[in-house]
Chains A and B, each alone.
Chain A
């Protein structure tokens, strides 16, 4: 954290729109206005019987004032005190994309604008790991692929078998016929053992046999 503030000071001039206090203050003001609009129709009641709208409205006003204060502080502070707003967009976007992918396809469903099929953890798990792993330049493709399958297997074991939580595992068109013939528990076990073996196999292919093999 200290390195960032040093960078902030080193910069010659921080334009007003890029200062953290300006952006932060503006954000709070915006939020306050939104809350006020949302609470507009709520009854504020009287002091002896404060209504549903009292606290939202009151807090919106306080937030507005505080936001303006932060905004003004940002506008008026000296260049040395100003700090530039900076976020690392790429890693954040990649990680968020991987999570959104998980959320949208794990069970599928109707998301208002679009609807998606269920792909289940067998498909979504490795994809989430692999995509999010790309968020850092230190990424090693081979290790990441091994991790994708190994981790999905481990999660299935932990969540389905140890914690007995129900998570969609397969795409819906595979799950139904398989479950009918074998029973869901068996199918899931076959699945994670399979993925575990796949991960082990890939590990051997990529990195060779581990040196200290026992037994």
Chain B
């Protein structure tokens, strides 16, 4: 316990420099701003803004990225409550009761309880991360290459299963991602692979370019299909601060949401969305007045909002301690870390303690900022909600072009974004989920490396490779989970979970 506070102290002493607090603030504000804008979720937000973080120090850029991430989540909740448009699937549940409260003139209270609940849950999740990180990374350091390979397979399987959509198609996307990771010079022999003689392919695929195309640009192309939706924005009336009665009613929901979200967030797959649904169902089941749900029950906002925020933070755990991103957003964060020369994995804590604990404590600072800065700014965010899409998307297009060009000063990068944008759009229309592709791209090299080393250690004997108990157990669970997902009744339920976060 003492150790835990010592670590948090390292973290806070790192982040409490003027520059880092400023970056955290900028991340939160920009994230909220873009998250509030219609039609852009957290994933697209991060994909679009990633080039901005390239110039900062590794710590600063990660703090900013994290700020953008929960800022955009927060922005999504705001739109869910005010205009019934969830910015992302994890705040879908918030529309049920949050928007009902808004129509009753209690929008301020809904926003307030969402922010306070998120803050409490975020605080709890920060401690969960701080408490689990060291044991988990120690465990991971004791893994052999074969264990690691199996763990990656399990993580990827769960990510595919819990992300929804067709499992077969998701597997295709995952493998395409892995193949894309292999394009370019081989890690060991430097022999060019799958380059088809093209100079551009020799350097491999840049995750910033791929994600900006697949998630940023493709989202614009998708939105342009349908006529613009003019959101009706009501007046934010009522006080922002929930009164004592509201707090009493939602205290339990916030506590349960925090615990639930923290646990579900660690599991690969879309924890934030899943936990908000589970929390809503739980609150409804526990409530003495379940009939009030859907008609403005404050617990129906407090629970899911706490849960999704806690989960959004604990999804960092697999990335920071094991090096395994479990969602597309985490894959992007992992990509950004690699870019700054910090390879995500169990060694991050021991090699870069200031970075690790700095990021962890920045989450808490960021959550605090969201409460004390964003709540008063709610009027400003409402104005952004009204920005018409036909002026917004050319802005994003230009921003993306300049942003990606500024990274390497290569015109071909801009053209690559266009290619991936079209590809992402077409694949989406063919009902291929894109998140597994990004996971594959980020993990591909590591996957091959561990498989290679594992097989060398077992001297090419597949049975020796598999007979290690942990490897076998992890691979069996992965296989069972994949098998179960194909069973029709389960796959039906899963397909409703489709989303791209």
| A positions within 8 Å CB-CB of B | 1, 3, 20, 23-24, 27-28, 31, 35, 38-39, 42, 46-50, 52-53, 55-56, 59-60, 62-63, 66-67, 69-70, 73, 83, 85-88, 91-92, 95-96, 98-100, 102-104, 106-109, 121, 125, 128-130, 132-133, 135-140, 143-144, 147-148, 151-152, 155, 159, 163-167
Contact = CB atoms under 8 A, between A and B. Distances in A.
B221 A91 contact: yes
Given A24-B430, A138-B389, A167-B406, 8 more contacts: A47-B461, A59-B175, A62-B175, A70-B168, A136-B390, A151-B394, A163-B55, A166-B406
Nearest to A156: B402
B456 interface: yes
B394 A49 contact: no
A53 to B, nearest CB: 8
B388 interface: yes
Interface string B438-477: 0000000000100110011001111000000000000000
Contact of B224 (A50, A85, A135, A144): A135
A167 B402 contact: yes
A24 B338 CA distance: 32
Label chain A's interface by main secondary structure: helix
Closest 4 CB pairs of A and B: A48-B460, A103-B414, A47-B460, A91-B224
B456 A138 contact: no
Nearest to A165: B406
Contacts, number: 199
Nearest to B175: A59
Nearest to A131: B394
A129 B397 contact: yes
Contacts of A163: 52, 55, 406
B430 A20 contact: yes
Given A85-B429, A95-B221, A50 B391 contact: no
A106 B405 contact: yes
B151 interface: no
A167 B409 CA distance: 7
Contacts of A55: 178-179, 182, 448, 451
Given A70-B169, A129-B398, A104 B415 contact: yes
Contacts of A83: 431
Contacts of A24: 169, 430-432
B415 A100 contact: yes
B406 A46 contact: no
A31 B437 CA distance: 14
Contact of B401 (A27, A31, A128, A164): A128
Contacts of A35: 179, 194
B225 interface: yes
A104 B413 CA distance: 10
Contacts of A109: 411
13 contacts: A38-B194, A39-B194, A53-B193, A60-B179, A70-B169, A96-B421, A99-B417, A103-B413, A107-B409, A132-B393, A133-B393, A164-B55, A165-B406
Contacts of A144: 391, 394
Contacts of A53: 193
B291 to A, nearest CB: 27
B460 A49 contact: yes
B395 interface: yes
A140 to B, nearest CB: 7
Contacts of B186: 52
Contacts of A130: 394
Contacts of B389: 136, 138
Contact of A86 (B196, B390, B429): B429
A122 B249 CA distance: 57
Nearest to A69: B168
A138 B388 contact: yes
Nearest to A1: B498
B415 A47 contact: no
Contact of B217 (A99, A103, A108): A99
A155 B430 contact: no
Contacts of B175: 59, 62-63, 66
A187 to B, nearest CB: 18
Contacts of B414: 99-100, 102-103, 106
A99 B456 contact: no
Contacts of A96: 418, 421-422
Given A104-B411, A166-B409, A46 B401 contact: no
B171 interface: yes
B460 A46 contact: yes
B415 A103 contact: yes
B327 to A, nearest CB: 20
B236 interface: no
A73 B430 CA distance: 14
